[in-house]
Each structure stands twice: as structure tokens, then as C-alpha cells.
Structure 1
Amino acid sequence: MEQDDQIITVVISQVVKPGCEAAYEAWLKDITTVARTYVGHLGTNIIRPQAGVRPEYVIIFRFDGYENLKTWMTSRDREYWLTQSATLIESDPQVQHINGLEAWFSLPGQPLKTPPRYKTALLTWVSVYVLINVLNTFITPLLRGLPPFIISLIITITMVLLLTYVVMPRVSRLLSFWLYPKSRKV
């Protein structure tokens, strides 16, 4: 890890055996409840399978730093719950650790992978540049009369929400050919 104090996300994907979905859902509830008790746990998201789009469950754990994540990932609690799920899943889960802005560059329905950092940085810079200019042009005039720090607060909150939920997912899909080029077979 480059920075120990950086939020880190673990993305786990696994395919559940047909007919085991209800038991797996109960297992998910139990393991996420236990994960919440660990220091540094920031939340868990579950993306359920969608017919014709993605056959696997995706579990996303977020922790406030590598050491707290490591404590969870190497815990006896987690080991116990993983053994409980062994009969419910088709194969070993795929586990990927991501941190920082890398989470913005994932494509729905595909295994999580991140592009090279220079592409991540360039695309993030371009998106922030365009969005900050749009927000300053259209939102800042509506906020005249407010203290500058309140204007900055509103603009930055709006920008982060738009980047996370609107801009980056669409830009990542639009430029997926550049971010994730197909490897050439020789």
C-alpha cells in the first residue's frame, strides 16, 4: 500500500450454486453484521446477480486503512464465515483490493480491474476541469451573497456527487476502449 491512511475497498465476487440463493443471502447478512464490528469498517455494499448481465454476487467492503482491512481479512471471524459459505458457492471467490479513485474506473458487469494510473489521472483531471467550469458558470451565480467557504462547500459536494454517481461511471463506459484495451494475441 502506498498510503496506510487511505480508504481501501475490497471487492469480492462469487457465483452461488443454483438453489442456494436463500442460504447465501442469510450468510451475507451474518458476515456483514460481523464485519461491521471491526475497527475501521466504513460500510458494505452488495450487488446481486442480474439475469443476462452478471451471474455473480459482488460484495464490497470499505475500510479506513490497510491495517484495519488486514485485521478483518486475516481474522478468525472471517475465516469461520468463509468456511460456512463453501457449500453455497461454485468456486473460490475473486478478491480485489482497490483504493483511492480506482473505484471510479470499474465497468458494471465485468470483473473489476483498474486502468494504468496515468489514464486514471488524466481522465480524472479532464472530468474535474470540465465539471468545475460548468458548476462555476451555472451554480456560483445562484449562490452570490453567501460566504465564499459556503459556496466552495456547495460546489465541492455537488462536484463529488456528480463525479461519483453520474460523470465517472458514464465516462468510464464511454472511454472503456481506451481505459481497458483488449490485449492483442500474437
Structure 2
Amino acid sequence: MTQKHVTLVITHALRPEDADQYEAWLGKIMPVAAEYPGHLGANVIRPADGQGAWNIIIRFDTLEHLYAWTQSETRKQLVDEITPLLAEGDHTEVRTEAAFWFTPPSPHVRQPKQWKQFLITLLVIFPSTNLVPWVTGALFPALQGSLLLHFINDACVVALVVWLWMPIVTRLFAGWLKKA
């Protein structure tokens, strides 16, 4: 049996002075990971002020595709490059539950307040659910009011939220989300 939509959570502990070098390394490894079959997207949760835990969340469509990436010689070589900066090594965890946006994978990273999660989600959902039907209605006027057009609208909204808007908005508002 194949598990769908698996998430790889990678935690790297660094000293704050190594952040720039680590960011450069992320810029190198992330595009390589994205080329692997089944890659659905990645997010980076940068450490809160005074902390050194970086969390990288990478989603794959199947467990087999995730393992193809994690066990690849390419990933091993890239991790070897950054290992001297890692205080606690390359800690990975596979999660098979639904993808998450706000739940930090390590206990010492505080989860944003629920009202902030609500506002960020509303900020993304409201314009998407209003703009997508307007665009699809103009593109497919013959489908107005049909179940097929509703399905197309829903699929577009979910895709935009998961792969475009939520990663952008959570990155833009990361500082605000971390504040008490």
C-alpha cells in the first residue's frame, strides 16, 4: 500500500553566525530536491530570535518518492557539505498525516496563536475564493453554475493556497506569527 502526501521534516541546529552560510546552502539544495519525482513543495521555518533550530518541511506525493530523495547520493553529498555547521546532525522525521502550515515540528518552537492562524488563512482564502470564480467564469462561460466549474474553482483555490499563497504569506508574516 502506498501512503499519499508524505512530509519530511528536517531539523538542523545552527549557531546564529552560520545562518548566512546555511541560507546559501538551502538555495543550493532546495532546487535539487524539487527536481525529484513526486516533489510537492517545501517550506523553511527559520529560527525565532535567540534560537538556532531551522526546520525544513518537504512534501512528496508518495513514501517511495520521498525515500528516493532522502536516500539519494546527491542528498547525502549535499548534507555532508553542511554537516560541520550542524550542532546535532541531520535530524529527519517522516510524517504521513496531512500537510501542515503552522505546527512547528520541534517542541521548543512556539505555535502561533489560533487567532493569528485564522487571520492568515482568511487573508489567503478570501481573495482566492473570490478571484478564482471570476477568472474561471470568464474563461469558461458555458460552464456557469455547473458542478464541473465548482470543482475547477475548488481545485484552483486549494492549489493556489497550498503551493503559492500560504508559503508566501507565512514567510512574509513569520515575525508577526512568532510574537506572543
Q: Report if TM-score (shorter chain) is over 0.5.
A: yes
**Following TM superposition, by how much is the alpha carbon of 1:108 offset from its aligned partner in structure 2, in angstroms?**
3.5
Partner residue in 1 for 2:119:
none
Give the partner amino acid of 1:47. I
CA distance in 2, matches of 1:155, 1:36: 25
The aligned counterpart of 1:77 is 74
Q: Is the 8 A contact 2:3 2:96 kept in 1?
A: no
Structure 1 residues 17 and 97: CA distance shift in structure 2, 3 A: same
User: 2:148 aligns to what?
Assistant: 149
CA contact (8 A) 2:44 2:57 kept: yes
User: Aligned AA for 1:107?
Assistant: T
Which of 22, 30, 39 aligns to 1:32? It is: 30
Match of 2:103 in 1: 107
**Structure 1 partner of 2:10:** 12
Identity of aligned residues (%): 28
Larger Rg: 1
Query: For 1:31 and 1:41, how far apart are their aligned partners in 2?
Result: 13
> What is the match of residue 98 of structure 1?
95
Alpha-carbon shift at residue 71 of structure 1 (Å): 1.1
Shift of 1:5: 5.5
Are 2:48 and 1:50 aligned? yes
1:149/1:79 Cα in 2 relative to 1: closer, same or farther (>3 Å)?
same
Q: Which has the higher helix share?
A: 2
The SS at the match of 2:84 is coil
- Please tell me whether the aligned partners of residues 45 and 55 of structure 2 are also in contact (alpha carbons under 8 angstroms): yes
- The separation in 2 between residues aligned to 1:15 and 1:66, in whole angstroms, is 25
Change (3 A) 1:110 1:30: same
How far, CA to CA, are the matches of 1:67 and 1:155 in structure 2? 28
Q: Following the alignment from structure 2 to structure 1, what is the Cα–Cα distance between the partners of residues 153 and 7?
A: 27
1:34-81 superposed Cα distances (whole Å, 9 cap, x missing partner): 2122222222211111216x6411111111211111111111111111
- 1:73 is aligned with what amino acid? T
Q: Secondary structure in 2 aligned to 1:19?
A: helix
Change (3 A) 1:111 1:4: farther
Question: 58, 62, 67: which one pairs with 2:64?
Answer: 67
Distance 2:14 2:83 in 1: 10
Paired with 2:105 and 2:6, the residues of 1 have a C-alpha distance of 21
Equivalent residues of 1:6, 1:100 under 8 A apart: no
Assess, with a 3 A threshold, how the Cα gap between structure 1 residues 85 and 105 changes in structure 2: closer, same or farther: closer
Cα root mean square deviation, aligned: 3.3
Q: Distance in 2 between matches of 1:14 and 1:37?
A: 22
Taking the aligned partners of 1:37 and 1:158, their CA distance within structure 2 comes to 24
2:9–2:55 CA contact under 8 A, matched in 1: yes
Structure 1 contact 41–64 (Cα < 8 Å) conserved = yes
The one-letter code matched in structure 2 to 1:57 is W
Aligned twin of 1:134: none
Match of 2:112 in 1: none
